[in-house]
Amino acid sequence: MIRFAILLLALAAGGAASWLALGAADQPAVAAAQVQEAPSQEVLVASAELKRGTVLEDGHVRWQAWEGEIPPVFISRSSRPDAIASLAGSLALGDFVAGEPIRQDKVAQRGAGFLSSMLPSGKRAIAVRVTAESTAGGFILPNDHVDVVHTVARSGSGNEGDVVSRAILSNIRVLAVDQTVSEGADGTSVIGKTATLEADPQQIATIAAAEASGTVSLALRPLVDNHEPSVVETEGHRRGVVRVISGGRTSMIEVPSRSGGS
C-alpha cells in the first residue's frame, strides 16, 4: 500500500513538472508571435545628405522604421505607399542630412510655382544672359553666390575701345543655370545661356539697367563669404578710375575710392 502511494506521488510530480516545462517553453513563442504581430510604422527619410535645390530621385530617399506617433508633416508609408515614385522629380526646398525624415513642406512638385517655391519671402528672381566666359568658365553652379559685374563701353572718352567695369551687386545667390536648379550628380559644371539670380526688389532694377546698357558677368565668391550681406553699388558712391593698357587695348576700370582720400 505504501509502495502504491509512493508511485502515485511520483507520477503526479512528474506530470506537474512536464506541465510547467511545456508552459515555460510556450511563453517565448507567444511573446515572439506578439512582437511579429505588432504593427510596424515607417516614414520616408533621406538616404544621404541632400542640398537645397536637389531634384529628388528614387535613390535619394528610403523607408525607415519609426517608433511612436508620426508627426503630420512627415510622410508615412501607410498614408502614401507610393511616395518614393510620386516624389521623383520634386525639388528639395531645404537641406537634409542622411536619415532625416522628409517633410511635406520642404519639397515642391515640378510645374507651376516650382521656382517661386525656392524664393524666400521678399526676394525676387531675375534671369541674365551669360556665357561660359562670364560665369567663371562655367564653374558657377546653382546655389553658388556671386558678385555681379557690369561692363560698358565709354562714349565720348576720346579713346576708341575704352570700356568700364564695376561691381554693381555683391553676394547674390544663383537659383538656376538655364532650367537646371541643382548641380549634376557628378558635381560637374552647368553651362547655359541664362542664369537666374535671387535678388531684392530694389536690386532687380539695377540688374535690368546693367543688361540694357552693357554686359553682365558673374564673379564666383568663396563659400565662407556667403554670410555677408548683399550690397548695391550706386553711382553716388565715390570711385576712382584705373586705366589698363593691354595688347594695345585700353580699358577703364572703376574702383571704390578710399573714404577721405583724394
Q: Which domain holds residue 48?
A: 42-110
Are residues 102 and 120 both part of a single domain?
Answer: no
More confident residue, 99 or 154: 99
Q: Which of 24-28, 88-92, 96-100, 129-133 has the lowest mean pLDDT?
A: 24-28
Identify whether residues 144 and 165 lie together within a single domain.
yes
67 shares its domain with 184? no
In a domain, 259, yes or no: no
Quick check: is 17 in a domain? Answer: no
Q: Could you count the other beta carbons within 10 Å of the beta carbon of residue 209?
A: 12
Give the whole-number percent of the chain exceeding pLDDT 70. Answer: 60
> Do residues 103 and 227 share a domain?
no
Domain at 69, CATH number = 3.90.1210.10
By mean pLDDT, which of 60-69, 117-126, 198-207 is the weakest? Answer: 117-126
Tell me whether residue 194 is in a domain: yes
Give the pLDDT band (50/70/90) at residue 143: confident
**pLDDT tens digits, one per residue of 6-65:** 656 666 666 666 666 656 555 555 454 455 555 579 999 999 998 877 888 888 999 999
Q: Give the number of domains in the chain.
A: 2
pLDDT, position 26: 52
Burial class (CB in 10 A: 0-12, 13-18, 19+), 243: exposed
Whether residues 171 and 217 share a domain: the answer is: yes
Q: Is the pLDDT of residue 92 over 80?
A: yes
- Judgement on whether residues 143 and 236 belong to the same structural domain of the protein: yes
Q: How confident is the model at residue 102 (pLDDT cuts 50, 70, 90)?
A: very high
Residue 152 has pLDDT above 90, yes or no: no
176 and 235 inside one domain: yes
User: CA of 85: how far to CAs of 16, 60, 135, 181, in Å?
Assistant: 59, 11, 35, 20
